[in-house]
Amino acid sequence: MQTAEHEVTSARHPLEPLSAGEIEAAAAIVRADRQLGESIQFVYITLLEPAKAEVYSYSGGAAVDRQAFVVLRDRAVREVYEAVVSLGHREVRSWRQVPGVQAPLTGDEIAAYEEVVKQDPRWQQAMRRRGVTDFDRARMDPWPAGYNGPEDAPERGRFLRPLTWVSSGEDGDNAYARPVDGLIVRFDLDRMQVVDVEDHGTVPLAPRPGNYTAAAISTPENFPSFSEGPRTDLRPVEIIQPSGASFEVSGHEVRWQRWRLRVGFTPREGLVLHDVGYEDKGEVRPILYRASLSEMFIPYGDPAPTQYRKNVFDMGEAGIGMLANSLELGCDCLGDIYYFDGFVNDNQGRAVRIANAICMHEEDNGVLWKHTDYRSGRAEVRRSRRLVISMFATVGNYDYGFFWYFCQDGSIEYEVKLTGIISNGSLPAGARPRYGTLVAPGVYGPNHQHIFCVRLDLTVDGPRNSVTECDSVPVEPGPDNPHGNAWEVSRTPLRRESEAQRLANTNSARFWRIENSARRNAVGDPVAYRLEPGPSTPPLQQPDTHAIRRAQFATRNLWVTAYHPDELFAAGTYPYQHPGGAGLPEWVQADRPLENTDLVVWHTFVAHHVVRSEDWPVMPVATAGFKLRPDGFFDGNPGLDVPEPASHARDHHAAGHEAEEGHR
């Protein structure tokens, strides 16, 4: 196991994440320059990435004026500010107020609200009606208020909508097994007080615990089918690399096989990739300048009072990097592991180290390619190995794993792994949910979706690219299709932003080629990578709902925009209580041209969750993602030079020796 070390120096690469020292220096510079008081909260302190031209012209070891981008909120005047800080010159380069927005939730707010709610007499009375008098057993999750009408407008205040569950009080108990249905609190985060309590009727608490630890499943009242405890017939599997891993790491730069890339980390996006390229014939050919998850939107499809206002933007309202897990060897990652720490800030501007926030390792990925000559019986086969770069974040009840895979055939895959505990509701005994699935007596999981949007700043063999939509279509019967079997690939160039708002289509096996017409492959075609879309169920809420107005990015599986350094987040920079229209739908109104230019591809894919009883009490991993595959980028299979497995080589040698002996 290895871990990246961090130094504070102007000679660091321009894209290296901020170190702990740089985070605290940025906060100190802003505090001194603006004479900030106690009411200021530092929301985010992150690297301000320099212009592309500066990154491209950087030579190793050169001094760089590294800059920090700082988001602050003044609780006294209820305003959000942005600052740019030069760390090398120790000065504030810019300071501006951002009117009419709400910043993401802060750690201080999350730590403070719950005890205040528990002291509210209206909430206490509602809990007593449900038979709960020991309020220490209550557990709350800080659901953002969202936007459900003018009362939620950012200028009206800063609100939270906490939901309540009840623990047994025992250590390690799963409080999510006992949701308090129909009880909704509106909480003012600036005044730190309860504004309103809605009680839509008492539903009995669920009767059965939902504990899932090894000790708990041995208790019959938890899960009778597991009363014998954990399995005893599972034999060890050991991942051993006696010569170590095949990758090389320098700071945050990674070299593995033919791949070259940089690993980044921000408090909002978590894992970010930079400067991804592939070495081909001695040349490192660029593919991606920057890649990250831009937004997550989770709308619920149940009209019940507790459920219909659940529509959260986990990146923009909370921050996936802020919620990153410290990963553990043998649990989250296996093999010869390299870890990158993540550094974020607390609300006083102090650096917080998230140890082992990002895990990198190699793993066997089955067969890369194979053919058996049926005449001779000789087989040529190569095993596939891939580089895995991943992180996990816990967002209340759900846990998300974010995985990038780099493969020896030149392909890149992105996968989200969803696990944790479903956000649920209660039902009276004998009732069945219309808009969800009963998972235990008195507990149901509402229908919902997890909608992800990944931002891909592509540089396929250079910064000037175009996008073509490709559909497999049957040819009309006639002279060109006399036997009725012909089909072709229809290619539609997406020339402007107004044309580049597209849906996936499994019936035509639709994919999108990101092409560089200035460079051709061996057969004369433009070099390209193709985006093969992930699962694409559209949002099922009505298009005029507040939730969909706020998440317009989710209505298309592909958006293409001309590059702009400030356009990073699909739902806009500040979605907390935003009424909608920000981000992608706003930017594409410019209808910028997209041919042979620096462009960004945004891909929206969906984990459509119709809950199963097997998702309770803790959910087995479900996955969603997409692929970027070379499509004419190489002149042939780039994995031909992968060596054959050692055992296969020995078998070939032995077979050849036997054949020679037989001939003699």
Cis peptide before 441 (omega within 30 of 0): no
Q: Check whether 160 has a pLDDT greater than 80.
A: yes
Q: What is the DSSP letter of 326?
A: P
| Per-residue confidence band for 608, with pLDDT thresholds at 50, 70 and 90 | very high
CB 600 within 8 Å of CB 457: yes
- Structure confidence at residue 264 (pLDDT): 98
Q: Render 544-563 in DSSP notation, one character per residue.
A: TSHHHHHTGGGG-SEEEEE-
**Cα separation of the two ends of the chain:** 52
> What's the whole-number mean pLDDT along residues 44-55?
97
CA distance 75 to 41: 7
| Per-residue confidence band for 657, with pLDDT thresholds at 50, 70 and 90 | very low
- Structure confidence at residue 662 (pLDDT): 45
User: What is the gyration radius of the CA atoms in the chain, in angstroms?
Assistant: 27
Q: Helix 121-129 to helix 107-118 angle, to the nearest 10 degrees?
A: 60
Q: Which residues are catalytic?
A: 314, 398
Q: What is the β-pairing status of strands 398-407 and 412-420?
A: antiparallel
- Structure confidence at residue 345 (pLDDT): 98
- Structure confidence at residue 85 (pLDDT): 98
> What's the whole-number mean pLDDT along residues 261-272?
98
Q: The tokens 């920057």 sit on which residue?
A: 290
Q: Check whether 221 has a pLDDT greater than 80.
A: no
Q: How many CA atoms lie within 13 A of 401 on its CB side?
A: 21
Q: Taken in order 302, 308, 313, 314, is the CA torsion positive or negative?
A: negative
- Structure confidence at residue 7 (pLDDT): 42
Buried b (16+ CB within 10 A) or exposed e, 361-372: bbeebeebeeee
- Largest CA-CA distance found in the chain, in angstroms, rounded: 97
Quick check: pTM over 0.85? yes
Q: The tokens 């760089």 sit on which residue?
A: 64
Tokens standing for residue 150: 């003018």
CB 475 within 8 Å of CB 487: yes
Find the helix or strand (DSSP H, E) in which 607 lies. strand 599-609
Read off the pLDDT of residues 101-130 as tens digits, 9 standing for 90 and up: 999 999 999 999 999 999 999 999 999 999
Q: Is 58 helix (H, G, I), strand (E, B) or coil?
A: coil
- Give Cα separations from 129 to 125, 133, 179 (angstroms): 6, 9, 14
Q: Check whether 405 has a pLDDT greater than 90.
A: yes
- Structure confidence at residue 172 (pLDDT): 84
- Structure confidence at residue 334 (pLDDT): 86
| Per-residue confidence band for 270, with pLDDT thresholds at 50, 70 and 90 | very high
Q: Is 184 helix (H, G, I), strand (E, B) or coil?
A: strand
Percent of the chain scoring above 70 in pLDDT: 94
List Cβ neighbours of 424 (8 Å cut-off, separation of 6 or more): 176, 179, 439, 443, 444, 445, 446
Q: Check whether 379 has a pLDDT greater than 90.
A: yes
Phi and psi based region of residue 91 (left: phi greater than 0; alpha: psi -120 to 50; beta: remaining): beta
* 420/62: higher pLDDT: 420
| Per-residue confidence band for 215, with pLDDT thresholds at 50, 70 and 90 | confident
List Cβ neighbours of 397 (8 Å cut-off, separation of 6 or more): 141, 176, 420, 421, 422, 423
- Structure confidence at residue 660 (pLDDT): 43
List Cβ neighbours of 640 (8 Å cut-off, separation of 6 or more): none
